[in-house]
Structure 1
């Protein structure tokens, strides 16, 4: 009797050890990636590039919020400056959660599904989605300091999360939980950091950093 291929053994081991995300919404994931299979090439390319590089838009929105905060009270500037820190914390929290859950990527569990993005290797866990956590933590943080910029960021975050399923990188529940993780971390930390760091920013606005923190 022939032994199974090494790749099949590795896949079986991963599936046994890891959280089985396919049982939650593997059917919905397959439906969405099948839409990508039959969609026009230009649409697939657009979503693929957005999914890979759209995260940059949140950095741009943070810069816009900083520029606007130069004309705002100190507590607003403090929250804006806290936003990238909060995003990093959300990413770290999410990475720890990934290492605990160890959910195998859908492209590994469902090898015949259609994927626009190259399948990540073993050990690159799926749950929750890092892209989505970063997007929603940035969006919620910005929403707490600048409503218009925040709503733009929130729409971009929804588009980012949806794109991660469309390209085949994540199950829908990876994205939904990622959105919750990012939003909760941002909602909890932005006001806290704002209160703690406001005296520091107040002093900085009167010192050498004044041109960067105040519209003079």
Structure 2
């Protein structure tokens, strides 16, 4: 069961503070798969032009996502089993991008905005937020190597974390611990890298 403040803040973000522009922007931020072509291009350019330091950073970021998403988030989701707001309550608004193929074409479709209809089925688990863990881990890795770029990435990570509440996928209380997990994963991997790889 959510805390009273948790439920109140969810309703504020998910319902009261809504806007048609945010109804597209927030799902767009959440749909990381839609941005995958751009992410791949950015990674390839960084690996090509950035030198050893940038390539070590990319290695740390990749391991951070694999560890944060595949091990930590997956294990905690299965262990804790917290139900998502949109699967638990009928007063939550579900927001998502429209259907499209390939995935980036979803960015050009009309967003889906509809009330939740809980029927006992679940679509993933709520805690932790994998999006938040992954992006804060990556932001931490980047900040350890390139401070200014890392600060920009932290802002993006925070926006994505907010979008998960706005879209009805997570409770507000899921987010701070997920941020902390991501930061810890990022710091740990950079620490290991600096102890094992010279010149970074």
Q: Same fold (TM over 0.5)?
A: yes
2:73 matched residue in structure 1: 94
- Distance in 1, matches of 2:161 and 2:45, equals 22
Unaligned segments of structure 1, at least 5 residues: 1-19, 203-216
Quote the RMSD (CA, aligned, Å).
2.9
My pick for the range that moved more, 81-90 or 95-104, is 81-90
TM-score (norm 2): 0.75
Q: Is the 8 A contact 2:68 2:130 kept in 1?
A: no
SS at match of 1:115: strand
Q: Which has the larger radius of gyration?
A: 1
SS at match of 1:128: coil
TM-score (norm 1): 0.70
1:107 matched residue in structure 2: 86
Report matched runs for 1:37-186 at 5 Å.
Answer: 38-39=18-19, 41-53=20-32, 56=36, 62-63=43-44, 65-67=46-48, 69-70=50-51, 74=52, 77-91=55-69, 92-117=71-96, 121-122=121-122, 124-186=124-186
Unaligned segments of structure 2, at least 5 residues: 97-113
Q: Is the 8 A contact 1:86 1:137 kept in 2?
A: yes
CA 1:127 to 1:136, structure 2 compared with 1: closer, same or farther past 3 Å? same
